[in-house]
Structure 1
């Protein structure tokens, strides 16, 4: 660090002349006996100043004076004097690309491999600064090309690649070890892939394209993670393995990195070459999980479009979830449904009990509405069939198991029935499936009335009638007046129409408009005349 402005009085007159490149003044001061070896607060002397400034004439003047003052040993000690940071004059000249000044210093026996306190050297400094001619000079003078530098044990080739100095990389590949590893077992080719240095990557052709770091990350994985599409293409074209396990913790592949970070172009390329076993195999992890957890909806969309399963494999031992949909719902439990949830539901993701809880055990209806937009409720007569076909006439139906779990969750979440009941009935759920004791015992009065409007309430089973009588006596249920009498013929007729057409067709299509009845009856036939109950949150529990 340069403290000269703070400590200007610590800089000698000779050093100032050398820094400014004023050879005549420097010579005059030296003849008057001013020392060239006086150091400032950084440990810099006049030779350091002249070398750093690239003042070739001043370097020559100081070196000539040193040569005339004593033996070659004395000259060597002077030319290799170090600053407090361990920098020699040769290092300072190389760092700044001062070729002529450096040549003079090397001719005066400057140590070409002198290390600084932070393990740099003239060659490493020249590489870092992008000074190709200086690099060539140092190599011709015997600079060690494969020494490690910095705390990370990088070689000069690592640094040249990192900085993207392709012209220097071309020089170094002839003298450097292409497979040199730093303290994390990262090769120069890995560095090129990580930082998107495509030209350097091409120069390094011949190096191991699948050399893995200490954590098993590969060049292809890191290029995929960073979104360097051209580097990904080059690596794949030169033999990089897209199915190489790249993690010590779980079977991570490059496609996982691309999906996680939303690099769509890279993801598209990797989908074409990655083994699909990662999608469903029990010992693997679908890239859908990574796309979902990082909220990369475009990655989710592409994977689904390319045939990756919306259900994938159960990864509770790795991700703590049972499916991509469960993971997506857990991430948005207190937020509106994410785009990923919609994509998975649309693609036919299986709905488990936990998923139905997210949709029903709440006063928010956005998730249930989304599900019912894309999944149809099967008719009651199909429920006894094994292996129910999900797709029929272009529609995706809930499976038997999904419907059972839906009903189980719904009957355990009666307190939210005012929210989910209208949606389910208008989506074609057979209302008799909800005529269960827990529903009639726990439903709000208006919710219960709404449900009864969809059935023939006069022929309920004796146990269910008993529950209604008890609630009426306890004044927890106030039936609408017409529920005390036999249903009107018009109500029985519309129930029959619903049964014949199927509740799904009646409630979700325009089939009712094709019936030979007056259009004012369409609303009645679709049960749209029944007033819905309003959800009322339960009062908070009194403090203990």
Structure 2
């Protein structure tokens, strides 16, 4: 049964007159013997209607008539609707101060609860009726009892609605640390909903700024999550600790919440006061992870700019994530790769075997191009000595282990070599590093010819020559005609130039333009005359399958 909609044919004559506030008609009907206690489909009688309408005169007359009923005045004034609402509740809910005063004088139950656990005081607080609240408090209304299914008090509701003057009144008489069913205090509510003035009133009244909810969330965390800058600033300025763990699952801090939801100004403030142990510390989680998870590239950018490590800590045991870059790559559902991937690569994030798979085990080259845009492949002798410098020509130099893993993945992804081989060689990778038995056995004919054009094909080791001879016999390789001859002098010269300058400088800088040779030879010296191998496209398996297959079948090939 619907107890909220009023059906006109069920309303008594006196109640209808009271609703319209027509005192003369109410008096006339009462004098003619019409009942003031007849109820409509909602359980409302004439007193309920008069109280809700705010008609003090009608309430007086109806109370007088109700006093003569068999139940008496006290019972009548406290009669309830089907929703458990008294006339006092209805009047307080609508801010009718004079009516509330009159009903209290008639001994209305000031703390009567409705079916949904409201009361006159809670209703007045909800509506923001300050004078009604003051009257009810003066008459002894209970202030700390819980209301609603979530166990909020009047103070919770006043804060939620932003009724700062009422909060100021209640803060002097209420328990400031009263908690709802989630152990949320009124101050927490102020922080959550950005009620700055209410927050200041509660803090100045002595409320605990470091209170924690059942899930360990603090007011500072929730304000950071919601992006309430003024509340964040006020809490920090009044002793809120930004380094308190706010989760049972992992040590979440307010900085994580700001990063996750992209509140940049809040994030900037928290970076300045948060312990940097969260960035690299064991058992911690860098805020980079949550920023990447929620695709908040602006947060990623700010964290990296402020010195947070692009590698962070290994969170495999906490979140099942190895590094920010691996997480960003697996979070990219479509090409091109996310802005976060670019930011991490540009910041020098370390590249693992799995990261190289994303770049090489595909017929798309956008990620590999992105990596090579920001990373420098060192020359072989530097790798052998493992003494690479951190930056070269404005780019981060690949570490020895990164190059090893690059080559390992490349030699296990020969199927895609037509895509990645030209890019790596033009980026300064020493081609001899790829002259491995597996490469010569598995590469298709065009790819193999392309690679051989970058080396002295006449002085390959006997095992490699044996592989080429066998493939020629089996007709799985069709060599270029000039491979049967000794390389020409010009080719030998450019190999020597590359050896002297280093493949990195030769292929990636304008050092060739500074040599005392005709400009027509510049392209030749940089091997630009060699046509790239064509890629035969075949629908690849999903990358997840290739990652799993690589982990289970790949061999570590010792090439350095």
| Bin of the TM-score, shorter chain as denominator length | over 0.9
Aligned-partner SS, 1:520? helix
1:154 aligns with 2:148: no
Kindly report which structure 2 residues correspond to 1:290-329, keeping only aligned pairs within 5 A, or say none.
290-329=290-329
Indicate the residue corresponding to 1:508 in structure 2: 508
How far does residue 390 in structure 1 lie from its aligned partner after superposition?
Answer: 2.3
Indicate the residue corresponding to 2:47 in structure 1: 47
Kindly report which structure 2 residues correspond to 1:227-238, keeping only aligned pairs within 5 A, or say none.
227-238=227-238
Indicate the residue corresponding to 2:226 in structure 1: 226
How far does residue 389 in structure 1 lie from its aligned partner after superposition?
Answer: 2.7
Indicate the residue corresponding to 1:527 in structure 2: 527
1:404 aligns with 2:385: no
Gap change, CA 1:170 and 1:539, over 3 Å in 2: closer
Gap change, CA 1:539 and 1:334, over 3 Å in 2: closer
Q: How big is each residue's C-alpha offset from its partner over 1:230-268, in whole Å with a ceiling of 9 and x where there is no partner?
A: 000000000000000110010011001111111000000
Q: How big is each residue's C-alpha offset from its partner over 1:45-92, in whole Å with a ceiling of 9 and x where there is no partner?
A: 00000111111111111112234x269x71110000000000000000
Aligned-partner SS, 1:204? helix
Indicate the residue corresponding to 1:187 in structure 2: 185
How far does residue 473 in structure 1 lie from its aligned partner after superposition?
Answer: 1.0
1:119 aligns with 2:121: no
How far does residue 388 in structure 1 lie from its aligned partner after superposition?
Answer: 3.1
CA contact (8 A) 1:223 1:231 kept: yes
CA contact (8 A) 2:523 2:529 kept: yes
Gap change, CA 1:191 and 1:181, over 3 Å in 2: same
CA contact (8 A) 1:194 1:223 kept: yes
- Equivalent residue in structure 2 for 1:91, among 79, 89, 92: 89
In structure 2, distance between residues paired with 1:223 and 1:387: 47
Indicate the residue corresponding to 2:281 in structure 1: 281
Indicate the residue corresponding to 1:34 in structure 2: 34
Indicate the residue corresponding to 2:138 in structure 1: 140
Aligned-partner SS, 1:50? helix
Runs of 4+ in structure 1 over 3 Å off: 392-395, 538-541
Aligned-partner SS, 1:318? helix
How far does residue 14 in structure 1 lie from its aligned partner after superposition?
Answer: 0.7
How far does residue 501 in structure 1 lie from its aligned partner after superposition?
Answer: 1.3
Q: How big is each residue's C-alpha offset from its partner over 1:165-223, in whole Å with a ceiling of 9 and x where there is no partner?
A: 11110111111110000111100000000000000000001200000001100000000
In structure 1, distance between residues paired with 2:43 and 2:357: 71
Gap change, CA 1:540 and 1:184, over 3 Å in 2: closer
TM-score using structure 2 length: 0.94
Indicate the residue corresponding to 1:268 in structure 2: 268
CA contact (8 A) 1:279 1:308 kept: yes
Indicate the residue corresponding to 1:474 in structure 2: 474
In structure 1, distance between residues paired with 2:57 and 2:288: 66
Indicate the residue corresponding to 2:384 in structure 1: 384
How far does residue 309 in structure 1 lie from its aligned partner after superposition?
Answer: 0.4
Indicate the residue corresponding to 2:371 in structure 1: 371
Kindly report which structure 2 residues correspond to 1:317-466, keeping only aligned pairs within 5 A, or say none.
317-332=317-332, 334-392=334-392, 394-466=394-466
Indicate the residue corresponding to 1:489 in structure 2: 489
Kindly report which structure 2 residues correspond to 1:231-246, keeping only aligned pairs within 5 A, or say none.
231-246=231-246
Ranges in structure 1 where 5+ consecutive residues have no aligned partner = none
How far does residue 302 in structure 1 lie from its aligned partner after superposition?
Answer: 0.4
Q: How many residues align?
A: 537
CA contact (8 A) 2:37 2:66 kept: no
- Equivalent residue in structure 2 for 1:199, among 194, 197, 200: 197
In structure 1, distance between residues paired with 2:252 and 2:358: 30
Indicate the residue corresponding to 2:216 in structure 1: 216
TM-score using structure 1 length: 0.97
CA contact (8 A) 2:414 2:443 kept: yes
Indicate the residue corresponding to 1:3 in structure 2: 5
In structure 2, distance between residues paired with 1:540 and 1:525: 36
Indicate the residue corresponding to 2:551 in structure 1: none
Ranges in structure 2 where 5+ consecutive residues have no aligned partner = 542-560
How far does residue 317 in structure 1 lie from its aligned partner after superposition?
Answer: 1.1
CA contact (8 A) 2:376 2:392 kept: no
CA contact (8 A) 1:333 1:358 kept: no
Q: How big is each residue's C-alpha offset from its partner over 1:260-285, in whole Å with a ceiling of 9 and x where there is no partner?
A: 11100000000000000011111111
CA contact (8 A) 1:52 1:93 kept: yes
How far does residue 2 in structure 1 lie from its aligned partner after superposition?
Answer: 3.8
Q: How big is each residue's C-alpha offset from its partner over 1:272-314, in whole Å with a ceiling of 9 and x where there is no partner?
A: 0000001111111111111111111000000000000000000
Aligned-partner SS, 1:396? strand
In structure 1, distance between residues paired with 2:403 and 2:8: 84
Aligned-partner SS, 2:232? helix
In structure 2, distance between residues paired with 1:112 and 1:20: 26
CA contact (8 A) 1:17 1:25 kept: yes
In structure 1, distance between residues paired with 2:216 and 2:139: 38
Which segment is superposed worse, 297-306 or 327-336?
327-336
How far does residue 393 in structure 1 lie from its aligned partner after superposition?
Answer: 5.3
Indicate the residue corresponding to 2:547 in structure 1: none
1:169 aligns with 2:167: yes
In structure 1, distance between residues paired with 2:4 and 2:141: 27
Aligned-partner SS, 2:199? helix
In structure 2, distance between residues paired with 1:333 and 1:376: 27
